[in-house]
Amino acid sequence: MSEASPITYLDNNATTPIDPEVREAMLPYLGEHFGNPSGGYAIARKARAAVEAARESVAGLIGAQVDEIVFTSCGTESIHTSIASAIASFPDRRHLVTTAAEHSATYEQFKRLEERGGFEVTWVGVDEQGHVDMDAWSAAMRAGETVLASMIWANNETGVIAPVVRAAEIARDNGVLFHSDAVQAAGKLSINLGSESPLAMLSLSGHKLHAPKGVGALWVNRHVRFSPLLVGGGQENDRRSGTENVLGIVGFGKAAELARATLADDVLDQLAEMRDAFEAQVMLKWPQAEINGDVDRRLANTSNLFFPGIDAEGLLILLDRAGVCCSPGSACSTGAVEPSRVIKAMGHSASRARSSVRFSFSRFNTVAEVEVGAAVVVEAARKLDTGLGAPTSRGGPVIFNS
Ligand code: PLP
């Protein structure tokens, strides 16, 4: 293993490389098409038209109406907007429902509302496979009291897929607004928010599907009351003020169009084959490894592996040195390694979380990369197992929050 190794990028749930076609579509908006879409002259109209075309593509990816898409700066902003909108729409309600396995963008805001905002939160548990306890979900709904119920569609750490439509129906039947964080699901699962959808809101992020970072979208069901988080210039039809990130939006639109085409052909099957081949190759040589989360109901691109007795931090250092990029099942931002909240919520020990690593693939990975990745993982695990080559420093904090 040497510093000069080429990169094997297996961390696509953290972010994805920009598709060359997306970059191509964006380039004119870095140059001649720089107009502000709110302007009243030709170059502004060009920018406006591009934003509206992108809106159509993003709506098309999730089977939504075009005017239900609100562009934002990221998935986190979309999620926060959904929460703020629900609270503003039902100011007398003080109860929230979510799951114990949400991304930190939802978790931290619900925690803040619980600790400092005067809200009561029901955190619905997940089982060892990562599935939400649906009886507890139903029992958590309080008609007339619950402001919002939010459930992640596909988990960013394990890829486990939630029964979101059923969860939304339960919320709706109790008169509760339902939001889903679909940041990891979009482009990797078929989502169809037809006119009868029980969902109220849904969050998306461009950089998880080969668009640039810094652009997201919130889908708002046209039958639902909405109140903006950002007010000011009245952009996005008064639903999200701030001059539009035209460049990012154009990229997001192109990426959504390409993702839709991907869903229509067999790319997802190829991704699942790649992931399964990776797991098989690792487990052939390292049979103690186990998969975290339901093997049959997870995203085609995600593999979260537990290596008993191996420190994931150490493994990551060796993988990094060999040019293999992936994420740990723990977070370390202040010197102390915090085991993954999601893996612990599944009833696993902190030590299992500290020995777990997430690998996530995309259509840009190759079979050769899968083979290299698996071989390097096995070699690194062997080194750590025998106490050889145990690394002492990674060179920076590890943060698993994507
Ligand atoms: N939700 C999930 C499931 C994610 O994986 C991420 C990204 O890390 C986010 C929300 C936040 O998205 P963004 O980075 O665009 O704010």
Ligand 1 centroid vs 216 CA: distance in angstroms?
A: 9
Are 219 and 201 in contact, with CB atoms under 8 Å apart? yes
Rounded CA-CA distance 336/157 in Å is 20
Q: What is the pLDDT of residue 201?
A: 98
CA atoms within 13 A on the CB side of 89: 22
Q: What is the pLDDT of residue 361?
A: 98
Q: What is the pLDDT of residue 177?
A: 98
Nearest to 352, CA basis, from 293, 400, 311, 397: 311
Q: Give mean pLDDT in consecutive 10-residue pieces for the chain, a chain of 402 residues.
A: 72 97 98 96 97 98 98 98 98 98 97 97 98 98 98 98 98 98 97 95 98 98 97 98 98 98 91 98 96 98 97 95 89 63 96 96 96 97 77 47 60
Is the C-beta atom of 184 inside 6 A of ligand 1?
yes
Single-letter amino acid, residue 19: D
Ligand 1 centroid vs 317 CA: distance in angstroms?
A: 24
Ligand 1 centroid vs 44 CA: distance in angstroms?
A: 31
Q: What is the pLDDT of residue 68?
A: 98
Q: What is the pLDDT of residue 4?
A: 53
Atom of ligand 1 nearest to the CA of 155: 3
Instruction: Give catalytic residue positions.
Output: 332
Q: What is the pLDDT of residue 34?
A: 97
**For residue 110, what are its two tokens?**
């619900």
DSSP per-residue letters across 133-185:
-HHHHHHH--TTTEEEEEEESB-TTT-BBP-HHHHHHHHHHTT-EEEEE-TTT
For ligand 1, atom 7, the nearest C-alpha belongs to: 402
| Residue of 103, 151, 342, 399 to test ligand 1 pocket, by largest number of atoms within 8 Å of CB | 103
Atom of ligand 1 nearest to the CA of 207: 15
Is the C-beta atom of 70 inside 6 A of ligand 1?
no
User: What are the residue ranges of helices labelled H in 209-349?
Assistant: 235-238, 246-264, 267-285, 312-321, 341-345
Rounded CA-CA distance 180/182 in Å is 6
Is the C-beta atom of 181 inside 6 A of ligand 1?
yes
Q: What is the pLDDT of residue 293?
A: 98
Q: What is the pLDDT of residue 216?
A: 98
Ligand 1 centroid vs 40 CA: distance in angstroms?
A: 35
Q: What is the pLDDT of residue 328?
A: 86
pTM: 0.95
Is the C-beta atom of 122 inside 6 A of ligand 1?
no
Ligand 1 centroid vs 106 CA: distance in angstroms?
A: 9
Rounded CA-CA distance 217/314 in Å is 37
DSSP per-residue letters across 34-50:
---TTSSSHHHHHHHHH
**Number of residues that this document lists for the chain:** 402
